[in-house]
Amino acid sequence: MYKLIVMLHLLGASIWVGGHLILSLGILPSALRARDPAPILAFEQRFEKIGIPALIVQILSGLWLAHYWVPQHAQWVRFETPQATLIAVKLGLLALTAVLGLHARLALIPRLTAAMLPQLAMHIVAVTLLAVGFVIAGSGIRLGGLAW
Ligand code: HEM
């Protein structure tokens, strides 16, 4: 079971992180240059159909894996072992991702104009950096920490 959940977690990570890197590095720069939000909105509309299910898979498989590594849930936020510390970091990254995602979806995207593009761009770059942060923190759990 553990191996299957790790595989699902890695598959979901590929979709979530890969999609955001394509958006940040492949689509955002030209949209900013052209001051045109349309390509971003078109990508988001297509991506969210697999991106949101992938994020849900990440959360469910991530909580399962967190329980596998640190079965006492109270220790998830006590920073006592490298695994518990990195689980707390991942929960923090998840909270920030949720806040930024909800703000973009509820406050920015419904009334998006070319003038608001830089603000949306900052959101996209921030969510992409958080996604990369998930990968870095996640790899440290099995490696016993991130210290070299
Ligand atoms: C988009 C969100 C996420 C991404 C991209 C992500 C990515 C990753 C990656 C790449 C690994 C390394 C797996 C390995 O060592 O083979 C990992 C491991 C892990 N992640 Fe996540 N993760 C996400 C969300 C979460 C959440 C919400 C939790 C819950 C706290 C979580 C908990 C874990 C745990 C416990 C591991 C260690 C798995 C193991 O190696 O046994 N992850 N994650």
Angular region, 107: left φ>0, alpha ψ -120 to 50, beta rest: alpha
Which two tokens mark 139? Answer: 């790899």
Residue 110 has pLDDT above 90, yes or no: no
Residue with tokens 């593009």: 117
> Is the C-beta atom of 134 inside 6 A of ligand 1?
yes
- Give the position of tokens 């052209």: 34
What local confidence, expressed as pLDDT, does residue 77 receive?
Answer: 86
Ranges 34-43, 58-67, 78-87, most confident: 58-67
As a whole number, mean pLDDT of residues 42-58 equals: 96
pLDDT value for 130: 98
pLDDT band at residue 53 under the 50/70/90 scheme: very high
Q: Average the pLDDT over 71-86 and give the result.
A: 91
pLDDT of residue 145: 82
User: What's the rounded mean pLDDT across residues 56-69?
Assistant: 97
Q: What's the pLDDT at 43?
A: 96
Residue 78 vs residue 31, higher pLDDT: 31
Question: Which long-range CB contacts under 8 A does 104-112 form with residues at least 24 apart?
Answer: 109/41, 109/44, 112/37, 112/41
Average pLDDT over residues 109-130: 92
The helix/strand/coil state of 80 is coil
Residue 16 confidence (pLDDT): 98
Residue 148 pLDDT more than 80? no
In this structure, the residue with its CA closest to atom 33 of ligand 1 is 62
According to the model, what pLDDT value does residue 47 have?
96
The pLDDT value recorded for residue 71 is 95
Whether residue 57 has its Cβ less than 6 Å from ligand 1: no
CA distances from 68 to 32, 126, 141 (A): 43, 29, 11
Q: Which two tokens stand for residue 71?
A: 């079965």
Q: Measuring from atom 41 of ligand 1, which residue has the nearest CA?
A: 142
69 CA: nearest ligand 1 atom: 35
List the Cα angle 25/29/30 in 5-degree steps.
120
- Is 147 or 50 the better-scoring residue by pLDDT? 50
